């Protein structure tokens, strides 16, 4: 029986295949195609049960990878063969259903054979003890008993010990080493390598195996030879075979059943990976000695399920409203947010043993000094207590490390078969099989997931900010990855064409800004105190930005990798700990500064690369968030970063004013850089109305700011920081004011017809002392960032949203938006044709054609002149021209005189100057015609932020109704508002993108989930303001409230699982794991009722819970049982 907690897609086989993520509360991972083909394993892709291949291959490989079931039945005089989920079942009248639950830890494939009167389904589960469990069921729906022969099993099972590269590139070699061995008396099969696959002249024992076992109440025959599939299909024969070598592994079982009417038969397959011989003996003992193997299995499944459920519940992942699909969608969003960013293991409790071990990893000197200072009698302390202890030590490193420590579990990088370039590792147990706290992530990903996590765990936001700023560099950038143990960066490899280094820009500003805003809402006092608290570090990433003169001469190659410093750092990690990756002072201690300096450096790094009216110069070898726009590097300028920088600077000003400081201590070198940039901005502001000379004025600013930044970098790279000096708070405030003024002018100049530029192309001409700007076509991210900037008044916000709907960004068939306007594809034979007028004016090209020299151009059968097909870009053309004039004297004068003309002709044919990257050439991912769901969700959030911003200013403004309706119009294009057929997958599940030619792609691990968690709480009007919980449901819809009562399963901090009845005209969500019920049953004034665990009740005739009571909620004290908020439904506007 399949219960109602599953979402069902009927006849899913009529849809295009789609990939799904199957989750776990442990270290299991599974990626499964709707065809049934899958890859699965534990910990990381190297420990796989089935080959870890790309999703396109998974969609095609169901006939020889994963589950197989064949059923023979005698009906009358016929022997009928039914193979569920096969493509060869045209002779039967079938229904196929796919079921998935919202937490995504199980999936069911069901096939109903209406002709044979049989229902078959199999379900994937996981648990800690047995690995992966495939539960199979067949039910006789006939009125008569029926006899069946069933072949069932798994195909293409990997042995342990095969490397990922070997599986993907040399699988035929790997086959030669494979051994499959069935232990009949033990009821299990082992899959292993006869020896390790090595090319070295030395032995390599392979002493781990993957294991598959089974349980059935019926007697089973077993074979590990796939030849029995053909035999069974043909004549029902099935011969036992217990050893196979040199071939892909499989395990097949054969059973004969007699089923009475309505009778069901079940059987189980268990599969696990990378087991030692000792572990296997224990598994065999457990499977064969247990009298209640199914009970044990089901209990293990429930235990794993509950771990995941409790993790989701702790992050406020469950709600109950009238819309079941929206509830499921919110749960899925929270699920994938914690799987990428991690979740707190036990509220805010810190296991001291884990912290001390982390301290040892990070800073061995601090570990030796302070390891015995902790109360050894306590197993745990709270995060607050840990920080309080650090303050008492007055040791800067301890204060930094205690604030930075986050006891998270389940986090991993977002790798899967649809993005195999990302390697993930799910660490939940240590070498002793004890629970392990660990997280990891790309810098660009993990902080956005933490933003949403911080809503449910606001006490941790300060720690998240500490982790963020402690990893930024002296030149204002950040490393590629972070994890529990510190930071990591990409290493340049001259021998690997895919090896590349660089820094991204926009993520830095907006991700930090969002965390700062949250901390300000939760504890403004903490944020202001941090401004002058000198406990923040700089990351010593061994990248060295080149001098400004080198950057401007070649802005695409701007960073040197310091191999010597990298080698030195890595050699010292084991000696000193990972803190050695941080910048040190002249006494070899970690160099610490205050938060204000960290914010100043981030702002200066961006402003030093400002192209006035153009954007932030992309000269650090990486694009913004969208890697597909990588060709913008060097000659592109980001308005996206300008919009976010404007918000950042406006906020910085506000906090500085609130802090009421006279002065601040900052590094002297930073101070010098600050005053130089400040003077340049003041001078630019004076001159910016001189439009005739503005290209020259712009270039003067670029040269001056570039040299100032270069001078600062070179000093710090060579000598580090020497001393600190004071900067007046008013000087900083005035600097931020002039910066905002310049940015506002830049923003205003990039708006046209209600839409805003995302990126521009720049032409920096040193000889002419000129900086020109060319506009690119509109992009969705430009509108999102502009709406988020805080620059636009309400009427312009509405005009911009309407303009997006009227633009070529709107994709009507999905009621949503693509990243950039689609391009018409030029026919292959119409490409690469030089216009006759341009050809006739170029003597060099004419001479080459006349002489039949095809090294640069050639002529086709229709007399079209084309460039040589091997000249793939301008660099190839330059190389070819230089070789030609060097080796052929007859061409030298002509080429010298027409060199730039030829380059210009090439540019007029291919228009590479406006090439943004693969975004304009590929048709999936962030390419042509694709909806990138994260960006749509960002748009939704930016509109919601504007709604509440302007509501606060004037709640009676009639335009707010228009804005709210536009908000829900955008929301109406998201997945939860679609059918499976429209979306191409389970509509409650988040996916990365939807290309124009297929359904949703890349499941689960997308930044979209963060945005939708934020917007969901925004819809509910549940906010933290000034350290208090505020209810302001001004954007909530009446349709959210129940029309009949429902029961909510709640997982309490203090009392565990309980059930809450939610009545008609109510809805329920949790915040900081406390259930909050909105009630519109009675037309009364606003009222809050707080019920405590001891039975006492507090009534508040307001929409705000005071600071002290809110603090109990935010710190997860566990004393609050529930909160009810009563308000009049007349106050609901949507």
Q: Convert the pLDDT of each residue in 507-521 to its tens digit.
A: 789 999 999 999 999
The residue written with tokens 């959030």 in the block is 941
Helix (H/G/I), strand (E/B), else coil: 159: coil
* CA distance between the termini of the chain: 39
Judge residue 296's burial from the number of C-beta atoms within 10 Å of its C-beta, 0-12 exposed, 13-18 middle, 19 or more buried: middle
- pLDDT, residue 691, reads 66
Confidence of residue 866 (pLDDT cuts 50, 70, 90): very high
d(CA 129, CA 597): 51
Q: Is the pLDDT of residue 741 over 80?
A: yes
How many CA atoms are closer than 13 Å to the CA of 253, on its beta-carbon side?
25
State the DSSP string of 758-813: SEEEEEEETTTTEEEEEEPPP-HHHHHHHHHSS---HHHHHHHHHHHHHSTTEEGG
- Spatial CA neighbour of 123 closest among 275, 250, 1: 1
CA dist list (Å): 592 to 399, 474, 534, 550, 832: 11, 12, 6, 31, 57
3 state SS for 709-752:
HHHHHHHHHHHCCCCEEEEEHHHHHHHHHHHHHHHHHHHHCCEE
- Spatial CA neighbour of 327 closest among 936, 1042, 984, 937: 1042
**795: β partners:** none
Q: Is the pLDDT of residue 625 over 90?
A: no
CA dist list (Å): 773 to 212, 257, 614, 618, 760: 63, 77, 6, 14, 7
Helix (H/G/I), strand (E/B), else coil: 516: helix
- 336, 338, 342, 343: CA torsion to nearest 10: -160
Residue 967 near residue 943, CB atoms below 8 Å: yes
**134: β partners:** 124, 269
d(CA 62, CA 36): 6
Helix (H/G/I), strand (E/B), else coil: 836: helix
- Spatial CA neighbour of 489 closest among 608, 368, 604, 582: 582
- pLDDT, residue 308, reads 95
Q: Convert the pLDDT of each residue in 787-807 to its tens digit.
A: 999 999 999 999 999 999 999
d(CA 279, CA 433): 12
CA dist list (Å): 222 to 188, 254, 892: 9, 6, 78
Residue 696 near residue 702, CB atoms below 8 Å: no
Sign (positive/negative) of CA torsion 273, 277, 279, 284? positive
164 vs 933 pLDDT, higher one: 933
Judge residue 202's burial from the number of C-beta atoms within 10 Å of its C-beta, 0-12 exposed, 13-18 middle, 19 or more buried: exposed
Q: Is the pLDDT of residue 2 over 60?
A: no
- pLDDT, residue 28, reads 95
Cβ within 8 Å of residue 594, ≥6 positions away? 530, 531, 532, 533, 534, 535, 536, 664, 665, 666
* Kind of pairing between the strands at 28-33 and 38-42: antiparallel
Q: Both tokens of residue 660?
A: 């009421």
Mean pLDDT of 74-93: 88
Q: Both tokens of residue 837?
A: 């007028």
- Spatial CA neighbour of 783 closest among 811, 745, 810: 810
d(CA 666, CA 664): 6
DSSP annotation of 829 reads G
Q: Is the pLDDT of residue 765 over 70?
A: yes
- pLDDT, residue 290, reads 67
Q: Is the pLDDT of residue 524 over 90?
A: yes
State the DSSP string of 219-284: --EEE--THHHHHHHHHS----B-EEESS-EEEEEEEEEEE-TT-EEEEEEEEEEEEEHHHHHHHH
Q: Convert the pLDDT of each residue in 1014-1060 to its tens digit.
A: 999 999 999 999 999 999 999 999 999 999 999 999 999 988 899 99
Question: Which of 463-472, 619-628, 652-661, 704-713 comes out lowest in average pLDDT?
Answer: 619-628
Helix (H/G/I), strand (E/B), else coil: 80: strand
Q: Convert the pLDDT of each residue in 288-303 to its tens digit.
A: 776 788 899 999 999 9
In this structure, how many other beta carbons lie within 10 angstroms of the beta carbon of residue 850?
8
- pLDDT, residue 498, reads 66
State the DSSP string of 392-455: HHT-HHHHHHHHH---EES-----BTTBTTS------B-TTS-B----EEEHHHHHHHHHHHHH
**1126: β partners:** 1079, 1087
- Spatial CA neighbour of 315 closest among 1071, 1113, 1111: 1071
Number of H helices, E strands in the chain: 32, 54
Residue 69 near residue 83, CB atoms below 8 Å: yes
* Cα-trace Rg, the chain: 32
Mean of the per-residue pLDDT values of the chain: 93
- pLDDT, residue 772, reads 93
Helix (H/G/I), strand (E/B), else coil: 663: strand
Question: Which of 467-476, 914-923, 934-943 comes out lowest in average pLDDT?
Answer: 914-923
Q: Both tokens of residue 119?
A: 């229902």
- pLDDT, residue 1, reads 47
In this structure, how many other beta carbons lie within 10 angstroms of the beta carbon of residue 170?
14
824 vs 680 pLDDT, higher one: 680
Helix (H/G/I), strand (E/B), else coil: 966: helix
d(CA 82, CA 119): 11
DSSP annotation of 582 reads B
d(CA 132, CA 97): 22
Domains of the chain by range and CATH? 6-18+66-308 (2.70.98), 457-788 (no CATH), 828-914 (no CATH)
d(CA 333, CA 1007): 10
Question: Which of 455-459, 681-685, 919-923 comes out lowest in average pLDDT?
Answer: 919-923
- pLDDT, residue 631, reads 78
d(CA 91, CA 62): 20
Cβ within 8 Å of residue 372, ≥6 positions away? none
Q: Both tokens of residue 995?
A: 């290309």
Q: Is the pLDDT of residue 3 over 60?
A: no
State the DSSP string of 24-50: -SSSEEEEEETTS-EEEEESSTTSBSS
Residue 1058 near residue 1080, CB atoms below 8 Å: no
Q: Both tokens of residue 710?
A: 């270069």
> Secondary structure of the chain: what % helix, strand, coil (to 5)?
40, 25, 35
């Amino acid at each position: 029986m399949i219960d109602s907690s599953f979402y069902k897609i009927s006849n899913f086989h009529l849809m295009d295949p789609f990939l799904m993520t199957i989750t776990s509360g442990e270290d299991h991972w599974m990626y499964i195609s709707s065809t049934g083909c899958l890859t699965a394993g534990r910990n990381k892709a190297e420990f796989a049960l089935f080959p870890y291949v790309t999703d396109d291959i998974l969609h095609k490989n169901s006939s020889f990878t994963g589950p197989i079931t064949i059923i023979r039945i005698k009906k009358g005089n016929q022997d009928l063969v039914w193979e569920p989920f096969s493509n060869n079942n045209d002779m039967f009248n079938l229904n196929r259903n796919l079921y998935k639950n919202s937490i995504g830890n199980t999936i069911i494939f069901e096939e109903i054979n209406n002709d044979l009167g049989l229902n078959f389904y199999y379900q994937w589960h996981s648990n800690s003890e047995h690995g992966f469990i495939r539960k199979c069921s067949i039910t006789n729906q006939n009125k008569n008993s029926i006899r069946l022969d069933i072949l069932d099993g798994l195909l293409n099972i990997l042995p342990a010990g095969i490397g990922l590269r070997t599986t993907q590139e040399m699988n035929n070699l790997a086959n030669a080493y494979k051994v499959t061995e069935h232990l009949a008396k033990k009821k299990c099969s082992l899959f292993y390598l006869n020896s390790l696959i090595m090319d070295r002249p030395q032995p390599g024992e392979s002493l781990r195996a993957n294991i598959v076992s089974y349980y059935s109440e019926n007697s089973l025959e077993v074979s590990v030879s796939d030849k029995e599939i053909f035999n069974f299909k043909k004549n029902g024969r099935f011969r036992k075979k217990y050893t196979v070598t040199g071939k892909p592994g499989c395990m097949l079982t054969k059973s004969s059943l007699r089923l009475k009417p309505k009778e069901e038969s079940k059987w189980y397959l268990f599969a696990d990976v990378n087991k030692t011989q000792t572990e296997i003996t224990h598994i065999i003992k457990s499977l064969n000695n247990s009298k209640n193997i199914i009970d044990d299995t089901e209990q293990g499944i429930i235990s794993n399920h509950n771990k995941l459920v409790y993790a989701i519940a702790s992050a406020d992942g469950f709600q109950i409203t009238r819309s079941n699909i929206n509830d499921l969608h919110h749960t899925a969003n929270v699920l994938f947010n914690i799987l990428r960013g991690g979740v707190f293991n036990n509220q805010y409790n810190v296991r001291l043993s884990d912290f001390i071990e982390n301290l040892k990893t990070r800073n061995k000197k601090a570990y030796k000094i302070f390891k015995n200072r902790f109360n050894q009698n306590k197993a745990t302390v709270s995060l607050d207590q840990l920080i309080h202890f650090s303050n008492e030590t007055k040791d800067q490193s301890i204060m930094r490390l205690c604030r930075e420590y986050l006891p998270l579990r389940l986090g991993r990088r977002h790798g899967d078969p649809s993005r195999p370039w990302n390697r993930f590792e799910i660490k939940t147990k240590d070498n002793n099989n004890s629970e392990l706290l660990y997280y990891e992530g790309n810098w660009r990903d993990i902080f956005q997931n933490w933003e949403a996590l911080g809503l449910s765990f606001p006490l941790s936001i300060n720690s998240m900010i500490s982790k963020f700023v402690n990893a930024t560099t002296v030149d204002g950038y950040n490393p590629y990855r972070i994890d529990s143990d510190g930071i990591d960066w990409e290493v340049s490899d001259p021998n690997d064409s895919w090896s590349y280094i660089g820094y991204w820009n926009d993520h830095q500003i907006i991700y930090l800004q969002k965390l700062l805003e949250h901390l300000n809402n939760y504890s403004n006092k903490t944020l202001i105190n941090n401004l002058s608290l000198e406990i923040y570090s700089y990351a010593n990433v061994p990248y060295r930005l080149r001098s400004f003169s080198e950057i401007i001469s070649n802005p695409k190659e701007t960073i040197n990798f310091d191999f010597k410093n990298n080698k030195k750092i890595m050699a010292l990690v084991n000696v000193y700990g990972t803190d050695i990756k941080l910048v040190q002072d002249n006494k070899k201690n970690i160099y610490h500064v205050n938060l204000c300096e960290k914010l100043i450096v981030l702002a200066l790094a961006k402003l030093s690369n400002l192209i006035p009216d153009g954007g932030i110069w992309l000269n650090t070898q990486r694009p913004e968030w969208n890697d597909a726009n990588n060709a913008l590097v060097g000659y592109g300028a980001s308005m996206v970063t300008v919009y976010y920088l404007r918000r950042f600077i406006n906020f910085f000003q506000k906090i500085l004013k609130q802090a009421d400081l006279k002065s601040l201590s900052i590094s002297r070198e930073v101070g010098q850089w600050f005053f130089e940039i400040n003077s340049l901005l003041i001078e630019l502001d004076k001159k910016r109305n001189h439009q005739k000379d503005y290209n020259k004025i712009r270039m003067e600013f670029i040269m001056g700011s570039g040299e100032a930044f270069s001078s600062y970098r070179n000093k710090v790279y060579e000598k580090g920081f020497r001393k600190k000096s004071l900067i007046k708070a008013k000087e900083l405030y005035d600097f931020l004011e002039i910066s905002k003024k310049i940015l506002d002018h830049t923003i205003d100049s990039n708006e046209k017809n209600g839409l805003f530029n995302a990126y521009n192309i720049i032409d920096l001409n040193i000889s002419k002392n000129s900086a020109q700007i060319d506009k690119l076509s509109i992009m969705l991210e430009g509108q999102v960032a502009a709406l988020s900037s805080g620059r636009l008044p309400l009427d312009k916000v509405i005009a911009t949203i309407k303009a997006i709907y009227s633009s070529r960004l709107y994709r009507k068939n999905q009621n949503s938006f693509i990243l950039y306007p689609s391009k018409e594809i030029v026919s292959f034979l119409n490409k690469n044709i030089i216009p006759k007028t341009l050809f006739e004016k170029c003597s060099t090209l004419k001479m080459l054609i006349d002489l039949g020299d095809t090294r640069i151009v050639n002529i086709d059968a229709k007399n079209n002149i084309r460039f040589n097909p091997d000249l793939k870009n301008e660099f190839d053309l330059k190389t070819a021209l230089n070789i030609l004039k060097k080796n052929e004297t007859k061409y030298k004068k002509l080429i010298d005189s027409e060199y730039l003309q030829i380059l210009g002709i090439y540019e007029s044919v291919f228009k590479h100057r406006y090439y943004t990257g693969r975004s304009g050439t590929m048709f999936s991912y962030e390419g042509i015609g694709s909806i990138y769901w994260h960006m749509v969700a960002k748009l939704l959030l930016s509109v919601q932020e504007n709604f509440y911003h302007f509501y606060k200013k004037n709640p009676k403004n009639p335009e707010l109704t228009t804005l709210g309706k536009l908000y829900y119009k955008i929301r109406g294009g998201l997945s939860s508002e679609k059918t499976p057929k429209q979306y191409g997958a389970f509509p409650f599940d988040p996916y990365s993108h939807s290309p124009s030619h297929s359904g949703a792609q890349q499941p689960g691990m997308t930044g979209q989930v963060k945005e939708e968690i934020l917007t969901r709480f925004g819809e509910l009007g549940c906010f933290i303001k000034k350290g208090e919980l505020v209810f302001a449901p001004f954007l909530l819809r009446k349709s959210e409230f129940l029309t009949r009562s429902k029961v909510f399963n709640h997982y309490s901090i203090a009392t565990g699982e309980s059930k809450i009845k939610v009545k008609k005209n109510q809805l329920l969500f949790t915040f900081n794991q406390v259930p909050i019920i909105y009630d519109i049953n009675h037309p009364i004034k606003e009222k809050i009722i707080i019920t405590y665990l001891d039975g006492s009740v507090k009534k508040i005739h307001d929409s705000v819970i005071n600071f002290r009571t809110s603090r109990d909620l935010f710190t997860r004290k566990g004393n609050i049982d529930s909160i009810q908020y009563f308000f009049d439904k007349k106050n609901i506007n949507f």
